[in-house]
Structure 1
């Protein structure tokens, strides 16, 4: 073999190797970018907003949340909550915290849910003898079921950790409306 032939063959193999290697790197980068953007296609945002007013009474609640749809059956996510309640000359409370949410859709119209909620409660009771302040954490574990129509679910949930005393919820059963976009 001539010296030029060996150099030409080595140069040719080097060029083929470099171009082949470069396209593999580009393909991996392209896949990673596609995976990143695919994540947000599975995320939905929503939550709840509540307002209640009466004679000397106010109840304001804001509860945003986000879920990730793993597939058409399972979703999970996080939520935050702030609630202000005031009954003139009797009661006031600020409650804030977060929650973990899991949703299961065995069929399209049915949503089964579980939600673990942890709220910090700062409340004050007032009467003619003075006032009493309470600061504590309240934990609730809601199991629920609802009818789902596209991105809106209406149902009922049950707090399995409900206690008649030392609780911020009057009843263990609570109706809910859940909306995700």
Structure 2
């Protein structure tokens, strides 16, 4: 056998041994994984005179330990203002949570949303100087947050460092939040 054959055979045996080792442990690790997953999210309803805002945003986090968690979420929102516009917003996010002490939760969240804005023709023609028109665009947000954490609930504020008045998604860079995970 030449040196290349010995190296190849060694690689194959090593990969096989690792695969068999991980397979035996996988069932226990899968059960442990799901024990550390927590589910939550948000529901939002807003109604007014000719105004409707409906949001749903389920999410899940993996709780590494008492101090750190990482998760993902999806979001869907419908906003309607009679005689002005309809908007469909959907997308996803990744969130990291850190509890330096039990009562304090710090967070960082990356959110990517697709916005479909359909402007009423009469409204658009009346405000031609503002250039209101149908638009489809992506909006990226990066939030840094801090909140008071108690059991499954955190109440706090988050700040969008990429906020722009032109993005037509959020009315302000600073927003309150209530985060719930079970």
Instruction: Give TM-score scaled by structure 1 length.
Output: 0.81
Number of residue pairs the alignment of both structures matches: 156
Match of 2:60 among 60, 66, 70: 66
2:172 maps to what in 1?
A: 171
CA distance in 2, matches of 1:76, 1:166: 27
1:129 maps to what in 2?
A: 125
The 1:38/1:163 distance shift into structure 2, 3 A limit, reads: same
Instruction: Give the Å deviation of 1:146.
Output: 0.5
Match of 2:105 among 103, 111, 116: 111
RMSD: 1.9
| 3-state SS of paired residue (1:129) | helix
Listed as ranges, the gaps of 5+ residues in structure 2 are 1-20, 127-131
What does residue range 31-50 of structure 1 map to in structure 2 within 5 Å? 31-50=25-44
Listed as ranges, the gaps of 5+ residues in structure 1 are 1-26
| 3-state SS of paired residue (1:111) | strand
1:22 maps to what in 2?
A: none
CA distance in 2, matches of 1:152, 1:159: 21
1:144 maps to what in 2?
A: 145
Instruction: Provide Cα deviations, 1:117-157, integer angstroms capped at 9, x if missing partner.
Output: 00000012221627721000000000000001100001000
Instruction: Give the Å deviation of 1:29.
Output: 6.7
Instruction: Give TM-score scaled by structure 2 length.
Output: 0.81
CA distance in 1, matches of 2:125, 2:24: 70
Larger Rg: 1
2:9 maps to what in 1?
A: none
2:163 maps to what in 1?
A: 162
Instruction: Provide Cα deviations, 1:3-60, integer angstroms capped at 9, x if missing partner.
Output: xxxxxxxxxxxxxxxxxxxxxxxx9876432222110010000000000001100000
